């Protein structure tokens, strides 16, 4: 795809209310979505394509090196889907700071009124995203400046407690864009608010992985952000809804444009075999993780759009009861998909 093609696709999806977005890494992601009647501002100018609301925003700059990659993952009796915005592994790295660092006024903030706020890198050392906070609160700035140069997780460091209490803007940045969240930070035992929010999970960050093991990614590329289009079986909060054939068709078209040709061919072959009445034991079932996920996703989709697969196919492909998804920051945590 050309830069113009990618920009046009991103522009269309920013205008689409049901599209959700996230940016970050395994264990630290910022998510953006908006409600059907929620006011939003679309910025479409040279060097900046963004959507913002009173609760958060997502914006993109130079998309010339981005590769779009669509995929699906079986989860329980349903599935997730997403389109990853990937960069080459040798071109995705951000600053990888490991201590709290003051960066100065955030001149690249998505909203003009936020550009005087002071940006601090939290020092999480992640590869494809800098995990930052932004504040204009003099009290919080004072605490953060006094703790600069130290790890947030150092015993006795007051910075993390001050951040949680003050609830500053969270700003996650990648080479081609950023996601900002303006809503308060919930307490450690609290529930994330609906709409834009963030997850920072030190246990998962310590794995050093760039993405969930259940998400296929092209060799040599790293996913830095994701688009999660409307799901045919789940609403924006992940709740089951009546089957939406239009949403299904829309994502299958995206999968055909940006997906793995091997997995697309597998789904097509298995669907044809099921439709012809061929017995399941005559099918060559893939023994790799992503092939099994594709086959199981197909079963779930056919069960909704009909006709339902024969029992021998269900028994063969679901015999392992699926593979468990990994906690948070995994495919099913990337919005309603």
pLDDT tens column, 162-176: 999 999 999 999 999
Reading phi first (left if > 0) and then psi (alpha if -120 to 50, else beta), residue 336 is in alpha
Give CA–CA dist 227/23, Å, rounded.
9
330 pLDDT above the threshold of 60: no
Angle between helices 245-258 and 289-305 (to 10 degrees): 150
Q: For residue 224, give the nearest of 233, 215, 214 by alpha carbon.
A: 215
334 pLDDT above the threshold of 90: no
120 pLDDT above the threshold of 90: yes
Question: Three-state SS for 52?
Answer: strand
14 pLDDT above the threshold of 70: yes
332 pLDDT above the threshold of 50: no
Q: For residue 207, give the nearest of 309, 325, 319, 127 by alpha carbon.
A: 127
Q: For residue 24, give the nearest of 213, 173, 247 by alpha carbon.
A: 173
Query: What percent of the chain stands above pLDDT 90?
Result: 73
Q: For residue 65, give the nearest of 193, 221, 171 by alpha carbon.
A: 221
pTM of structure: 0.91
What does the pLDDT read at residue 317?
75
pLDDT tens column, 52-103: 999 999 999 999 999 999 999 999 889 999 999 999 999 999 999 999 999 9
pLDDT tens column, 221-279: 999 999 999 999 998 888 899 999 999 999 999 999 999 999 999 999 988 888 888 88
Q: How is residue 44 written in tokens?
A: 């479409």
Angle between helices 159-166 and 138-147 (to 10 degrees): 160
Give CA–CA dist 128/326, Å, rounded.
20
320 pLDDT above the threshold of 60: no
318 pLDDT above the threshold of 70: yes
pLDDT tens column, 30-64: 999 999 999 999 999 988 999 999 999 999 999 99
Give CA–CA dist 161/164, Å, rounded.
5
Secondary-structure percent of the chain, ordered helix, strand, coil, rounded to 5:
30, 25, 45
324 pLDDT above the threshold of 60: no
Identify the helix (H) or strand (E) that includes residue 142: helix 138-147
pLDDT tens column, 174-212: 999 999 999 998 876 667 778 999 999 999 999 999 999
> What is the Cα gyration radius of the chain?
21
Question: For 97-120, what is the mean pLDDT?
Answer: 98
3 pLDDT above the threshold of 80: no
Q: For residue 233, give the nearest of 224, 245, 250 by alpha carbon.
A: 245
119 pLDDT above the threshold of 70: yes
pLDDT band for position 331 (cuts 50, 70, 90): very low
Residue 176 backbone dihedrals phi, psi, to 5 degrees: -110, 0
pLDDT band for position 282 (cuts 50, 70, 90): low
Partner residues linked to 70 by β-bridges: 83
What does the pLDDT read at residue 190?
67
Partner residues linked to 60 by β-bridges: 49, 177
What does the pLDDT read at residue 333?
41
């Amino acid at each position: 795809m050309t830069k113009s093609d990618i920009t046009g696709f991103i522009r269309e999806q920013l205008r689409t209310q049901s599209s959700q977005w996230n940016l970050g890494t395994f264990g630290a992601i910022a998510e953006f979505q908006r409600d059907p009647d929620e006011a939003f501002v679309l910025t479409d100018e040279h060097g900046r394509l963004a959507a913002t609301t009173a609760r958060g925003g997502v914006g993109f700059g130079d998309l010339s090196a981005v590769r779009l990659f669509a995929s699906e993952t079986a989860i329980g009796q349903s599935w997730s889907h997403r389109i990853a915005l990937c960069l080459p592994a040798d071109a995705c790295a951000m600053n990888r700071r490991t201590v709290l660092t003051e960066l100065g006024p955030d001149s690249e903030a998505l909203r003009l009124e936020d550009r005087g706020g002071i940006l601090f890198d939290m020092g999480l050392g992640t590869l494809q995203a800098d995990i930052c906070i932004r504040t204009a609160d003099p009290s919080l700035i004072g605490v953060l400046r006094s703790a600069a140069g130290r790890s947030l997780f150092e015993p006795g460091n007051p910075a993390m407690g001050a951040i949680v209490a003050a609830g500053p803007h969270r700003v996650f940045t990648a080479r081609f864009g950023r996601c900002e969240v303006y809503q308060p930070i919930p307490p450690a035992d609290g529930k994330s608010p609906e709409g834009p929010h963030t997850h920072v999970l030190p246990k998962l960050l310590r794995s050093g992985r760039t993405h969930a093991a259940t998400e296929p990614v092209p060799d040599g590329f790293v996913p830095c952000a994701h688009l999660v289009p409307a799901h045919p079986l789940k609403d924006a909060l992940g709740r089951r809804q009546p089957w939406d054939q239009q949403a299904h068709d829309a994502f299958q078209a995206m999968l055909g444009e940006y997906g793995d040709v091997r997995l697309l061919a597998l789904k097509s072959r298995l669907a044809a075999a099921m439709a012809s009445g061929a017995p399941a034991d005559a099918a060559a079932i893939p023994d790799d993780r992503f092939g099994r996920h594709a086959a199981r996703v197909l079963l779930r989709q056919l069960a909704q759009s009909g006709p339902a697969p024969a029992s021998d196919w269900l028994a063969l492909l679901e015999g392992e009861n699926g593979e468990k998804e990994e906690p948070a920051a995994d495919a099913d945590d990337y919005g309603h998909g």
